[in-house]
Structure 1
Amino acid sequence: MMSLLVVGAIVISIVLGYRTKINIGLFAIAFAYLLGCFGLGLSPREVIASWPLNIFFIIFSVCLFYSFAIVNGTLEKLAEHLMYRCRNFPHLLPFAIFFAAVVISALGAGYYTVLAFMAPLTLLLCARTGLNLIIGAMAVNYGALAGANFVSSQSGIIFRSLMTQAGLSDSQAFINSAGIFASTLIVPVVVLGGLILFNRRRGVAMATLDHVERPLPLNREQKMTLWLTLLMMATVLLPPIASLVAPNNAAIALLNSKVDIGLIASVFSVIALLLKLGDERKAIASLPWGTIIMICGVGMLISIAIKAGTIDMLGAWIGTSIPPVLIAVAFGVVAACMSLFASTLGVVTPALFPLVPSIAASLGIDPMVIFIAIVVGAQATSISPFSSGGSLILGSCPGDEERAGLLPKLLFRAAPLGFVAALLFNLLLTFVL
């Protein structure tokens, strides 16, 4: 009975969040308190302790460092330069948009930030060049997602934290996160390539990009920010990679054990402030507080679900009702359906990732396959107008008429196309790995 109440609370939190436009995480915190204290008999202190402090600190510290690149215009200027470099290849514009979004997002801007400033630019380019709106929207959405999945960027960090909380080691989480990034990079390239070839065979013409003006060079603060960002990424990535290459080296193992991306980002934030690369108040104000509250609030409710046995019950049902060969595909389908209306980071992965280790161990499946299937499935339908990505793209439309025309295209063409591509990829992944 309690498990059903917890599942109902998660669903109601999502529904109320989207109907009232109030952060889903706030509803989740309220339900965690009511169900935890009055349903499971937990003390208020135990409910408060379910706040995922590790995830909160990592997101806060990493986003604080990357916010300097947002505040001083480094990421926006970099996007303009990447677009300008591709002006002589109009038919490759979707790939230019995609890879620009990947690079900017991987450098730490994160999914929502990239969409916020690149979606309007993409829709403007579609209007001026004749690029299909669906292709443009999918390119920028796919790119922002894939880049954010990089192991040292926002989504990749969250995935790794969720995996370690589910019981995986740091090295296993790192490898799985790298697999997720590679997969979400491959799927869009194949999909966009197919759409470009299809449109070219139909004879759809595009105008030139001669109107794209040469952007101004990066100033001192922007250059220093870019170099500091690359240095931080190297500091975070090199020790775990070296540990994988030389697992028996004691010095490398010691160094890797001391690496924590949250603490490293905090050090680099201090360096950025000392170098005067941005205003501290603006940097803190630009943090994705809404996303942080949503992820941590839902994390509290998921913690209550674990204590109530909901996760174990759901895992047992999946393990006994679905053939082992289709487990990963089933997870991908469930994630895709959830992502039509909910956030991948705030709802889908916190709910599904805890199920993976036990199911993978009992059925002899590589957990990385299931983790990849979940993220690929969830991000395939994130372009739905009822999900975070699609709503941001719709919000970038210049007028109500354009918005009304784009909504059905996102819902009935882009989301189903992404779902089919994800389903085929997950089937292939299941039988190859």
Structure 2
Amino acid sequence: MAYKDEQLHEEKVFKDPVHRYVHVRDRVIWDLIATPEFQRLRRIKQLGTTNITFHGAEHSRFNHSLGVYEIVRRIINNFQGRTHWNNDQRLLCMCAALLHDLGHGPFSHSFEKVFKLDHEHFTQQIILGDTFVNKILQRVSPGFAQEVADVIAKTHPNKLVVSLISSQIDADRMDYLQRDAYFTGVSYGHFDMERILRVMRPIEDQVVIKSSGMHAVEDYIMSRYQMYWQVYFHPVTRSAEVILTKILHRAKHLYESDYEFKLQPTHFLSFFTGNVSLAEYIKLDESIVHYYFQAWQEEEDEILSDLCERFMNRRLFKYVEFNPNKQISELLRLIELFKKAGIDPEYYLVVDSSSDLPYDFYRPGEEEERLPIHLLMPNGYLKELSRHSDIVEAISGKKRTDHKLYFPKDFLFTIQDEQLATEITEILYGKEM
């Protein structure tokens, strides 16, 4: 029997709090899960610093990746025998679902911003490079690893396969909404996934939804909207991200200034120089980052020491509402006042913005073209979701943005010059910002 068709002697299951069980019967999937590159995802949290706000959010990219695989496995089972579904794509879909987040680094998006990295690039490198994952994929067929990489990169010619992993109603979103809701303890992210899976239908180049399932999709879209504003963009979580980002910026600045660290940032050196090898990237996980932050609390540099102590002990920055488009003069004045008070505004006065577009229809030529969700009507025609749903129409194409100004409120009480402290406090709190 060819490796790609090989089945385990008996089905293996992972007990899962969201899907009850994750089922594995294919030898290829079982072998991929066992690789060091996939096991590394146990040491990368799914939600970065969100556990500082919602203490239950300790789940990992490993949990999520298994969940996405399980949803895709169920979708494929439902597609068996339907027109437009080619079962030869089954293993490709499941491998792409399992490996789609393989390249995430510690604290994911915050880490990427500082070092100008792209987790999708490293996902490609792990799949195509000299790795255990690549060796397994190459055993399936010589070009199979490239096919998996192409699905994740959304460049594979089979758009139906791509849409299962990446679209406005894909397995990735369906898992993380429910999983993140479960572990944060909120009620927003729940929706009737079983109903959605039952009404999904494959067509030539995408997945569509039977019109009778429209209300389940409405619920899914509103759940996503609520999760972004109540969980993912929570201002306390963003405060922790601001501090995390500033720690990394400070460490990089000190390294470039030939500062003598008590604990040399050995694991960060290639990131500081912008010359990161795949092996070095894979070695760095959140446990190592936490080790450095713990040790750097004892550094001679007061800024690095203070920021690390804040992050490790949840002494976060406070925040006020702020509109950078209308209040630039207040910000410039605050920067000047902070400098006079001996507080470095580069690290202690930070504007942070978050924005989300909950649903959009097709806008050809835009930077991110979003394929819309289509309903399959009783007459066999397709209808774009927002044309049939008043709820979805109300939020379609509407990007919401939120701005906050973060600062260490405790520092304000240490300012000796009373007039200076008063002016800073009045700008921050005395006027509506």
- Bigger Cα Rg: 2
Q: Same fold (TM over 0.5)?
A: no
TM-score normalised by the chain length of structure 2 = 0.26
Task: Say which structure is richer in helix.
Answer: 1
Bigger strand fraction: 2
